[in-house]
Amino acid sequence: MMRVIYVLWLRQLKKYGRSKSRVVGAVGQPLLFLLALGYGLGSVFARAGKGDYIQFLVPGVIVQTILFASIFWGVNILFDRMLGFLKELLVAPVPRVVILLGSVLGGATTAFLQGVLVLLVSLAIGFRPYSLPLTLVAFAIMAMLAIGITSLGAGLGSIIDNMPGFQAVNNFIIFPLYFLSSSLYPLDSAPPALKIIAMFNPLSYAVDALRGTLINQSHYGLATDFAALGITMIALIAFGTICFRRIQT
């Protein structure tokens, strides 16, 4: 079984590495956010007494990178269904859960690596993490986020039949989730309505956890963040598994 999981994981990495445009596309957008917002709004943020906006923004932008890379990875499952390759996997003497596991781990790895890449670029433009041990915890949070959202992407790729459907999900679910989390602005000074929405948005806890570990600023506290993130991850894995198991050819 480990060998099967390994080759399926490797397949995702190979496909990813062979498509340069995917890498550039996935990292380009978050960097644009970081540079445009970071430098554009930095002085306003500082004048409001909130400190360095780049410091504040980097965790949110890393979440953004992983979020969009992971969800969009689900298109691979859609393509495998469309182009017929999935049949090869579905008739193989291997349980479907194992097929899904190997593929999701591969997708999550690529999303995670993109997050790391954005973190490295941030370091180059002046971002300074709070401490090394906590940065390692941040990597664990990034991995959890990647696995959870990749499972969601796999689930969507299993039930959606075309690309426009995927884009619709992106526009109507993922973008609002992102903007209504604390990724771009601090929750402490946000209006109450926004605070309440953010509280029910699982993504807020991922952003908060990264902020807690990378710049030592947490709104909810790391324990709450981990609990919320863990529960969400399990729910998303369950969702992905149920959808993938129901695929009919």
Partner 1 sequence: MESTNFPTIAVDHVTKSFGDVMAVDDISFEVYPGEIFAFLGPNGAGKSTTIKMLTTLLRPTSGALRLAGKDVVREQAAARKAFGVVFQDPSLDDELTAYENMELHAVLYGLPRAMMAERIDMLLKLVELDARRGSYVKTFSGGMKRRLEIARGLLHEPQILFLDEPTLGLDTQTRNVLWAYVRELSRDRKMTIFFTTHYLEEAEDIADRIGIVDRGKMVAMGRVDELRQQTGTDSLEGAYLALTGKGIRDEEVSAGDNMRAHMRARRRS
Nearer to partner 1, 81 or 211 (CB): 81
Catalog residues that contact partner 1 under the rule CB under 8 A: 3-4, 7-8, 11, 14-15, 18-19, 81-94, 161-162, 248-249
Q: Shortest distance, CB of residue 105 to partner 1, whole angstroms?
A: 15
Give the C-alpha separation, 61 to 249, whole Å. 38
Nearer to partner 1, 6 or 179 (CB): 6
Q: Shortest distance, CB of residue 20 to partner 1, whole angstroms?
A: 13
SS3 201: coil
Query: Is the dihedral angle over the CA atoms 4, 240, 202, 37 positive or is it negative?
Result: positive
| C-beta separation of 149 from 67 below 8 A | yes
Nearer to partner 1, 81 or 219 (CB): 81
Nearer to partner 1, 41 or 94 (CB): 94
Name which of 6, 145, 2, 133 is nearest 68 in CA terms. 145
Q: Where are the alpha helices (DSSP H) in 48-191?
A: 53-73, 75-82, 85-90, 96-124, 132-159, 163-169, 175-179
Q: Shortest distance, CB of residue 27 to partner 1, whole angstroms?
A: 20
**Which residues are within 8 A (CB) of 12 and not within 5 positions of it... i.e. 6 or more apart?**
73, 76, 103, 105, 106, 107, 109, 110
Give the rounded distance of the alpha carbon of 147 from its chain centre. Answer: 8
Nearer to partner 1, 76 or 182 (CB): 76
Give the C-alpha separation, 21 to 96, whole Å. 30
Q: Shortest distance, CB of residue 34 to partner 1, whole angstroms?
A: 30
Nearer to partner 1, 161 or 188 (CB): 161
Altogether, the residues listed in the chain come to a count of 249
| C-beta separation of 196 from 77 below 8 A | no
Q: Shortest distance, CB of residue 247 to partner 1, whole angstroms?
A: 8
Q: Shortest distance, CB of residue 5 to partner 1, whole angstroms?
A: 10
